[in-house]
Structure 1
Amino acid sequence: MSASTSVPSGRRALVSPLALGFVRGAGEIRVHLRDLQAVGFGLVLPVGLMLLFGTLFKGEVDGTSVQVRDVIVAGVCASAIMSVAFGSLGVAIASDLSDGTVRRLMSTPFPLASYVLGKLLLAGVLAVLGVSAVLAAAVLRFGFRLPTDPARWATFAWVFALGLGATCLLGILVGSLVADPKKSGGLIQLPYIFLQFVSGVYYAFGGLPAGLQQVAALFPLKWMAQGMRSALLPNSYTTAEVAGTWESGRTALVLSAWIVILAPLCVWSVRRRVLRDR
């Protein structure tokens, strides 16, 4: 279901695109939170996967004192962000483009940037809920120890923000390219599932074949998972990382590059799709 902005049409020209984006985002959030089934599924899925894999894979990662399940917790935090930002958002964009929602908005003074901002705000709220649920379940079920160092939480925040931005834009781009919204779920979820299993979400990334490591390094999820490990796991785990360090600078650079490259591509692709469907 698409949310509608509550700003009167006669005043839209006087309201900034940023303010309009927040208004639309608030509407998107209200509409989504009314669907308790969708909200519940969005929370249960990452928590369930974390509990499943965390129970199946026990013991310590070779050469470290870190439990495999702790690595999974960090990986699923990254995966939960991408699930909302890429998976759910991509499907929503495909639907809005197909049913004419975006076309109707673009025929009014309502800016396309405000529509995108609204979607980003919705994805951000859902990602916060999903990650919070994963961490809470990990603490209760596995005795996972949350960081006490503020610098760790600062790292967590920027990895979350950059990862959310990169995967949201990727979801928008892919969603705008899907011609049939009925097929959007499969077309979007299949690459997401593949990336989960090659990006170090459920096991140590260094244990993957070199070829798969190189493929995963091209996409945001690998760097998001690595960034989450740098925020949530002890420094002793760096011995299990491929580079032997957290590579925080490279993680920030790669995720930022995705945002810079995808932003204009998303605008071009959405506008092209709307003009084509007129």
Structure 2
Amino acid sequence: MTTTTTARAARDAVKAATPLPGAWRVGLSRGGLEIKQFFRDRTQVAFTLAFPVVFLILLSSIFGEEIEEANISVAQLFVPSMMGSGLLASSFQSLGTSIAHERENRSLRRLRGTPMPPAAYFLGKVWLVLLTGVVETALLLVVGVVGYGLEIPTDPVRLFHLLWIMLLGMSAGALLGVAISSVPRTGAGASAVVILPFTILQFVSGVYIPISSLPDWMIQVGSLFPLKWMCQGLRGVFLPDAAKVLEPAGDWEFGRVVLVLAAWCVGGLLLCLTTFRWKSRTDG
């Protein structure tokens, strides 16, 4: 009896002395789980990845003319804009709705009661956002290059612009998605709270309509939000400099793009810290 008690005490001592894995390591494992769950839902995968491609093909078929002053086709103009929209959809829209559902079914509450560091949960979401964003961008690039003659830039400066626009844009979208997930009272209401405003934002940001065709007041409204600047920056990466004439300011304004996206990252972080809840309102 004494031997058994001693052995049990020794095992407990070893467990107590063994440190728990850190947030980064747990976040990687959590990210793998998030990715597996995402790809198991074929409907969600098809909607998330195919939706921008389908809309690109439809819009390019409707607006098929050439823009002579910019030396590009309307289809080429739409490709970068759809990239920006897809990146924000895979971060802001996806997290805003999925976290709201996880809060309602009490998955968040159960996770909060485990030894998992809270940061690991958000790191897992970040890995999912990064993967879906990169895959979606790659699909749109393939369609743009093969179907519409878009040229992939080889200039290191433009490639650097592409990298920071994607990272800042997805970071801002993810932080805002986490923040807005606390707004709907139920998971069912998340779609209306998140998707409807995002759809309106796509129109006023020049995603579905060339921004040069929008009225001034609509451009000013779109300029308050990150999507317009993401699309403008991506157009600067993939389109020739002659296409600058289609922008409201007649320039790509990369400096302003980085400032606006960085400001939304800071604002989104502050909103997350002040509004995020692990429990739904009905749980008290």
Q: By the TM > 0.5 criterion, same fold?
A: yes
1:127 alignment partner in structure 2: 133
| Alpha-carbon distance in structure 1 between the residues aligned to 2:281 and 2:214 | 44
RMSD between aligned residues: 2.1
Q: Give 1:82's match in structure 2, choosing from 75, 88, 93.
A: 88
Tell me which amino acid in the other structure corresponds to 2:50: V
Alignment check: 8 A CA contact 1:78 1:224 kept:
yes
Q: Distance in 1 between matches of 2:93 and 2:213?
A: 26
Partners of 1:12 and 1:110 within 8 A in 2: no
Whether the aligned pair in 2 keeps the contact of 1:13 and 1:109 (CA below 8 Å) is: no
Residue of structure 2 equivalent to 1:27? 33
Are 2:57 and 1:51 equivalent residues in the alignment? yes
Q: CA deviation at 1:226?
A: 0.5
User: Which residue of 236, 240, 244 corresponds with 1:238?
Assistant: 244
Corresponding residue for residue 6 of structure 2? none
Q: List per-residue Cα deviations over 1:159-210 (Å, max 9, x = no partner).
A: 1111101111111111121111112112211111111111011333132111
Deviations 1:248-270 (A, max 9, x none): 01101111111111113213212
The alignment status of 1:73 with 2:111, answered yes or no, reads: no
Which structure would you say has the larger Rg? 2
CA gap 1:244/1:115 in 2 versus in 1, 3 angstroms: same
Taking only the aligned residue pairs, the percentage that are identical comes to 36
Matching residue within 241, 252, 271 for 2:277: 271
Taking the aligned partners of 1:270 and 1:232, their CA distance within structure 2 comes to 37
User: Which residue does the alignment assign to 1:136?
Assistant: 142
Large movers: runs of 4+ above 6 Å: 9-12
Change in Cα spacing, 1:207 to 1:130, as seen in structure 2 (3 Å) is same
Worse overlay, 234-243 or 62-71: 62-71
Question: In the aligned structure 1, how far is the partner of 2:27 from the partner of 2:98?
Answer: 17
> What residue number does 1:101 align with?
107
Aligned residues: 270
TM-score by length of 1: 0.90
TM-score by length of 2: 0.89
Task: List gaps (5 residues or longer) in structure 2.
Answer: 1-14
Whether the aligned pair in 2 keeps the contact of 1:71 and 1:203 (CA below 8 Å) is: no
Q: Distance in 1 between matches of 2:116 and 2:221?
A: 39
Question: SS of the counterpart of 1:180?
Answer: coil
Match of 1:178 in 2: 184
Q: State whether residues 57 and 69 of structure 1, in contact with CA within 8 Å, keep that contact through their aligned partners in structure 2.
A: yes
How big is each residue's C-alpha offset from its partner over 1:120-159, in whole Å with a ceiling of 9 and x where there is no partner?
1111111111111111112222222221222222211111
State the secondary structure of the residue aligned to 1:181: coil
Equivalent AA in structure 1 for residue 106 of structure 2: G
Q: CA deviation at 1:10?
A: 7.4
Return closer, same or farther for 1:17/1:10 CA change in 2, 3 Å cut-off. farther
For the pair 1:216 / 2:222, whether they are aligned, the reply is yes
Q: Residues 152-191 of structure 1: matches in 2 within 5 Å?
A: 152-191=158-197
Q: Secondary structure at the match of 1:200?
A: coil
In the TM superposition, what is the alpha-carbon distance from 1:243 to its structure 2 partner? 1.3
The CA deviation at 1:63 is 3.0
Question: Hey, what's the Cα distance between the residues in 1 that align with 2:139 and 2:18?
Answer: 37
State the 1:60 CA deviation.
3.0
Gaps of 5+ in 1: 1-8
Q: Distance in 2 between matches of 1:12 and 1:216?
A: 52
Residue number in structure 2 paired with 1:118: 124
Measure how far apart 1:36 and its partner are.
2.5
Q: Is the CA contact (8 Å cut-off) linking 1:165 and 1:259 kept in structure 2?
A: yes
